[in-house]
Amino acid sequence: MRPTVLFLLLATVAFATADWPIFRGDPAQTGNSPTALAGPLRRAWRVEGLESVEGSVAIGKGKVYAATGDGLARRFDLATGKEEWKAKIGPAKAPVSLSDGVVYAGDMEGKLHALDAGTGKVKWVFDCGAEISGGACHAPGVLLFGAHDDTLHCLDPATGKERWNFKTEGPYYGSVAMAAGKTFAAGCDSRLHVIDAATGKESASLDLGSQTGATVAVSGENLYLGTMGSEFHAIAWKEPKISWTYRAANRPKEFFSSAAIGSELVVVGSRDKRVHALDRKTGAPRWTYLTDDRVDASPVIAGDKVYCPSLDGKLHVLDLATGKKIEAHELGGPASASPAISDGYIVVGSTEGVLTAFKAGN
């Protein structure tokens, strides 16, 4: 087995830590925290005046990394919220990611910045010439991101040099998933592409019936993805074929949210203002929860709870089994970013430039 492929196969296991170094927590983009948050949440700290925090943060070794609409990448202390450095990039709304002491931040000007996590100093910059709205995904020796240049890019994380690229018919909005040596491109060409992450060669393709702006979530031989056509699919990606499709019975709307994968349920937000929990095997709805605005943010599962921000400006905490509301907390503005969980904290930003950390327990 090639070393690069072996690294990719082990990537998800390597990410099962207390840190949250990537959008949705791990390279497979499962949105499932390896640790639960015990007890009710209380606000630990809040940072305001960041213009907008539309992308999810990364957390590693007690530090929070964010890219903001005012064109800066920043590091904060997880326990106190104290800003420790800031670095100039372009205006950003993509999630940031963290690997081996390097922060990766894409901006709306088309540049992916590699910054030293300790100092914020630039290591390299890759310019693709078109907006980057999704986060980078990484495994040892491999760095992947999609952009609005209709391209999925694979870079050498040490140098920023491009190894390969894969063209799609339309911009790439979401973040990238990796699992079992494969990556999965889905965007505005209404297709799912299964691609070898080491070589960039496509092994399979599947018609999704509609465009998608969400990120693929992978578990084993199955992946889950919602579309702009108001459909949510479970896909057996090795074949590939659609195993089941869910469409809400009452006024279905688009899925811009990415799914969180539990042992029995898959949970996703929709522009119908609801959070939907579906049976992983059949796609049958188990419960829905109504918020006061669209749910573009991607929920996170931690233990027996679901944490989901909404454009109604609240972080909704739900019982995973029943969908009943446990708590709701103000976020200082509408939220489209997915939460990040680490060391008993949950951190999420808002489009009004507010970054809030909550701490679990009394």
pLDDT digits (tens, 9 = 90+) for 60-88: 999 999 999 999 999 999 999 999 999 99
CA distance 310 to 114: 30
DSSP assignment letter at 343:
T
Average pLDDT over every residue of 204-209: 95
Exposure b/e, 148-182, CB count within 10 A at least 16 = b: bbbbbbbbebeebeebbbbebeebbbbbbbbbbbb
Distances (CA, A) of 15 to 21, 99, 179, 291, 309: 8, 10, 12, 31, 24
Per the DSSP assignment, residues forming a β-bridge with 340 are 347
Residue with token string 């009452």 = 250
Assess contact for 273 and 257: CB atoms under 8 A: no
What is the reported pLDDT for 11? 40
Per-residue pLDDT tens over the stretch 333-355: 999 999 999 999 999 999 999 99
Per-residue pLDDT tens over the stretch 159-187: 999 999 999 988 999 999 999 999 998 88
Average pLDDT over every residue of 263-274: 98
- The domain in which residue 352 lies consists of 3-360
CA distance 266 to 283: 9
Question: What CATH number corresponds to the domain at position 49?
Answer: 2.130.10.10
- CA nearest 177: which of 133, 207, 150, 215? 215
- Split into its structural domains, the chain has a count of 1
The letter for the amino acid at 27 is P
Per-residue pLDDT tens over the stretch 33-51: 999 998 899 999 999 999 9
Residue ranges of E strands in 20-116:
32-33, 41-47, 58-60, 63-67, 72-77, 83-88, 97-99, 102-106, 111-116
CA distance 119 to 115: 8
Per-residue pLDDT tens over the stretch 270-313: 999 999 999 999 999 999 999 999 999 999 999 999 999 999 99
